[in-house]
Structure 1
Amino acid sequence: MLFKFILLALLGTLSLSAATPLPQEGPDKGASDRLVFCHFMIGITSNRKGAADYDDDMKLAKGLGIDAFALNIGVDPYTDTQLGYAYESAAKNDMKVFLSFDFNWYNTGQASAVGAKVKQYASLPAQLKVDNKVFVSSFAGDGLDLPAMQSAAGNEVFFAPNFHPGQGDFNAIQGALNWMAWDNNGENKAPTPGRNVSVADGDKAYVDALKGKPYVAPASGWFFTHFGSEVSYSKNWVFPSDLLWYNRWQQILGLSPRFVEIVTWNDYGESHYIGPLSSPHTDDGASKWVMDMPHTGWLEMSKPFIAAYKAGDKSVDKYITDEKLIYWYRPTPRDVNCDSTDTTMQGSPNNASGNFFTGKPNGWETMQDAVFVVALLKSPATITVASGKVSEKFEAQAGASAFTVQMGVGQQKFAVTRDGKTVMEDTSLKDIVDTCICGIYNFNPYVGTVPPEKTIDKLQSDGLAMLTQGLKVPCATNTLGGSRSPAPRSNDTWLFMYTAS
């Protein structure tokens, strides 16, 4: 399977400051030149039986305005089978796809093999082409013999790899993808005092290195991973995320790059998925922090931002067609102590990656104990958020706006009112608790919407296969979906009451 260990980006002479102004990539591109990609992990889809198993992903992504899936591949024996299904489904659903070579599994001495794989899929109808060239990307890969790769590909290749400024040969590529979509310390961990490389810093490094060539700017909502000794790929850290999904899309509108890549559709192990939990996949052990934690609200939030980006607009306001709230929060306060039962406290983990820490994930102090709310409105309204015993009201203007409320243990309630009348309201299916769910530290967010989604997004059986591996306490399965009953209506009461099942 594929498990990414993010490589350190060399950011050269950047000042380590979150205040770096947004760079401008170059001449403004028309709507037809702007494309949105989404990173898709083939390494966890070995259980898919045919092209039809990809159809829901393709349709959902296309409906958002995503143009192509970047199919992350390694050297698994089922890779070609799954690529065949994905290309077939994409063609049937009027989507595009392209290969993204993962150099945790490939090595830079395999240029001919990389080119041969490109050639294998280059002529298929769903293959993305940019400027009449076969579009190809990567995760890492600095030092790849590009002439050898191009020769073996047998086609003109638009290569936009995840090379790093100061490492890869930016003169020999057609564009570049920046993977670091989260503020960091320059050494692949959360920022520390005096060492903060912001996402905007990364934008500047890439735009400068590309010297006018197209930039693939990353957009991500979160990063948390918590693999312990129960697996061989142990890693345990977070990057500060909080309001990142909202703030990054605002940056994207200002930066106006030719390409955007959402990180990711289905990398559940690193908690930055926007695709459904129900999207068929195998369990790499991430189900411990992914179960009952849907992120499809982020998927819904991205739609008007994608539309604004493609139009070259700096504001999302006129692209809001459906009023809604999107909210997210971690399921427990950050100071809850789970050391006695957490999976990372046990055994002798493999720390060859240098990314493993015991107990709370490295960087946990950078996360706010808060509930984050984004309002997408057509006209001004009052937003009320009740987090446990904490309650706050906000005056939201038309358009997109974001609010932060101190986290409170208990139910999470949200309402929108205008002129004293309730427009919409709901109580989340996920309470905030001060206990260790499944016995572990869980820094993955629950994402919900108001109005709520019609169906509850749940992991399928294959996605739950490793749930109990390494756990020290019982762990109930797919607990969302308790009974809802109408509550008395008035201008200051909630429409729904929630009772846990």
Structure 2
Amino acid sequence: MVRSEPKSVFAHFMVGNAAGMTSTQWESDIHEAQKAHIDGFALNIGPQDGYTDQILQRAYGAAEAIGNFSLFLSFDYASAGPWPADRVISTINMFKDSPAQFHYHGRPLVSTFEGAANSADWPNIKSATGCAVIPNWTSLGPSGIASHLDTIDGAFSWDAWAVGAEDKTAGSDMAWKESLAGKPYMMPVAPWFYTNLPQWDKNWLWRGDNLWHNRWQQVIEMQPSLVQIISWNDYGETHYIGPVYEAGIPQGASRYVSNCPHDAWRVLLPQYIAAYKSGNSVEIASPISTATPRQYRRNVGKSVEEKLVFWYKLNPSTSGSANGTTGNNPAMGQPVVAPGEVSQDQVFVTASVAAPSDVRVQIGDGTPSIFRASAPGIQHYSVPFNGETGPVKFAIVRNDQDVVTAIGQAITDECEDGNVNWNAFVGSSDNSLNEPKIRWLN
């Protein structure tokens, strides 16, 4: 009988973007991840990077020095061809005894980014290292993974985004979980996806919009064995939730990454992760939830810090050229959709409230939108641009008093170089201590 393991949450970390990171920066990132209640990093490594071992030494050393933070290796078979099996073995053996190495079912965990064509390597790799392998062989699909259950110890899916102008459902996750016949499923969670890197023939987007909040709701409902956030630092694909280091931004991505911080997506992670690990959905309240403030405080602690997190494109979809960006990726056989249909012109806001409150959103000089958060917990809303531009103002209001306020960057029709930036600006009330007092229009 497979024994139960604690549920854990990891963030996918692109080691290829970390060549210039110092040990101090590694420690800083680990501290930031710990604040967000992330348990560790899945370290994506490619076979072509001559600096991989050196960076891994730095990463494991930082995690060991800080403690209470885990790492595991994720071998990337797609970036520059497959890994030689002997090098996979030597790399696993180099780090498997580190105190920072994550163990699952008593064995050092490793994963992959694709590599299903090399599936026959893994029985020997497992024998030579004693590892447990939970690969991402998403290209096989849930039905294709069934023929590999004797080799793998679980599976991780990269299917974290919807195809086209629709919201992501948990349908593919349920199919993966069922196909594993009781083996662990590592569920992907991502906040966004836009990439425009001509040197790699990449220029498309998938729907982000409400994705960050909706996926955590799905995680809480599905209760997978493990969760992997995509990603901590993949700046070129804009699903990063970690700090941005300029040296790690791929060539050509600065134009859409600069001035678009994503750190605020970590602000509510402690509550999302606590709800996942406890299985207690009262922490993620719905508009019709009957949870009382006393019940909510009992589940999340006596002191509830009320917060706002928000994100949106800085340019309306029709304010400039799409710069060749498509909705969906035709190279994957997906039908092309207008990017403005996939990425909606809306402001997305998530509020954590300790008691029934109003949530107010105002774009520029437009009429404020007012939502009723009828119960304590995390609640999520969206507001269409409706042709408005200017700074975006937010507040949690109770008894006609502003409890929490924040101001986000201005939405503008003036696009840099005439091209729409399809990346998201992400902010929160935590980052707004020095912002001017909000004045609402009546």
TM-score (norm 2): 0.85
Question: For 2:259, which of 284, 289, 292 is the aligned residue?
Answer: 292
Q: Higher helix fraction: Structure 1 or Structure 2?
A: 2
Distance 1:156 1:369, change over 3 A: same
CA distance in 1, matches of 2:122, 2:86: 6
Question: For 1:329, which of 312, 317, 325 is the aligned residue?
Answer: 312
Contact 2:316 2:420 in 1 (8 A): no
Distance 1:362 1:227, change over 3 A: farther
Distance 1:78 1:171, change over 3 A: same
Partner deviation per Cα, 1:407-433 (whole Å, 9 max, x = no partner): 1211211111111112122322x1001
- Secondary structure at the residue paired with 1:138? strand
* Alpha-carbon distance, 1:280 to partner: 6.1
Contact 2:260 2:426 in 1 (8 A): yes
Moved more, 65-74 or 387-396: 387-396
Distance 1:103 1:167, change over 3 A: farther
Identical pairs, percent: 32
Q: Which amino acid aligns with 1:58?
A: I
**Equivalence map 1:234-253=2 (5 Å):** 234-253=201-220
Contact 1:170 1:209 in 2 (8 A): no
State the match for 2:350 in structure 1.
374
**Equivalence map 1:23-422=2 (5 Å):** 33-49=6-22, 51-75=23-47, 76-94=49-67, 95-105=69-79, 107-108=81-82, 110-146=84-120, 148=122, 150-151=124-125, 154-164=128-138, 165-168=142-145, 169-184=148-163, 190=164, 198-228=168-198, 232-278=199-245, 281-317=248-284, 318-319=299-300, 321-338=304-321, 342=323, 344=324, 354=331, 363-388=339-364, 389-396=366-373, 397-407=375-385, 408-422=388-402
* Alpha-carbon distance, 1:155 to partner: 2.5
* Alpha-carbon distance, 1:215 to partner: 0.3
Q: Paired residues, what number?
A: 410
Contact 2:196 2:203 in 1 (8 A): yes
Q: Which amino acid aligns with 1:207?
A: K
CA distance in 1, matches of 2:189, 2:131: 24
CA distance in 2, matches of 1:431, 1:60: 27
CA distance in 2, matches of 1:88, 1:146: 32
Unaligned regions of 5+ residues in structure 2, if any? 285-298
CA distance in 2, matches of 1:145, 1:450: 47
Partner deviation per Cα, 1:290-340 (whole Å, 9 max, x = no partner): 11111111111211011111122233253373211111111011122326x
- Secondary structure at the residue paired with 1:154? helix
CA distance in 1, matches of 2:405, 2:35: 26
CA distance in 2, matches of 1:123, 1:353: 43
Q: Which amino acid aligns with 2:424?
A: P
Partner deviation per Cα, 1:375-397 (whole Å, 9 max, x = no partner): 10111111111012142111113
* Alpha-carbon distance, 1:177 to partner: 0.4
TM-score (norm 1): 0.76
Distance 1:210 1:148, change over 3 A: closer
Moved more, 303-312 or 433-442: 433-442
Contact 2:77 2:83 in 1 (8 A): no
Contact 1:109 1:145 in 2 (8 A): no
* Alpha-carbon distance, 1:356 to partner: 12
Moved more, 375-384 or 386-395: 386-395
Contact 2:195 2:202 in 1 (8 A): yes
- Secondary structure at the residue paired with 2:268? helix
Distance 1:338 1:315, change over 3 A: same
State the match for 1:448 in structure 2.
427
Q: Which amino acid aligns with 2:331?
A: G
Contact 2:407 2:435 in 1 (8 A): no
Contact 2:311 2:349 in 1 (8 A): yes
Partner deviation per Cα, 1:414-473 (whole Å, 9 max, x = no partner): 111111112122322x1001121243221111111124356xxxxxxxxxxxxxxxxxxx
* Alpha-carbon distance, 1:149 to partner: 5.5
Unaligned regions of 5+ residues in structure 1, if any? 1-26, 185-189, 346-351, 455-482, 495-501
CA distance in 2, matches of 1:279, 1:91: 26
Q: Which amino acid aligns with 1:322?
A: E
CA distance in 2, matches of 1:201, 1:119: 37
State the match for 1:423 in structure 2.
403
- Secondary structure at the residue paired with 1:33? coil
Distance 1:403 1:74, change over 3 A: same
State the match for 1:468 in structure 2.
none
CA distance in 2, matches of 1:446, 1:197: 20
Q: Which amino acid aligns with 2:189?
A: A
State the match for 1:24 in structure 2.
none
* Alpha-carbon distance, 1:108 to partner: 4.7
- Secondary structure at the residue paired with 1:414? strand
* Alpha-carbon distance, 1:285 to partner: 2.2
Partner deviation per Cα, 1:34-87 (whole Å, 9 max, x = no partner): 0111100001111124x2220011111122221110000002111111111001
Distance 1:338 1:115, change over 3 A: same
CA distance in 2, matches of 1:123, 1:279: 33
CA distance in 2, matches of 1:153, 1:178: 24
CA distance in 2, matches of 1:151, 1:451: 46
CA distance in 1, matches of 2:313, 2:83: 42
State the match for 1:348 in structure 2.
none
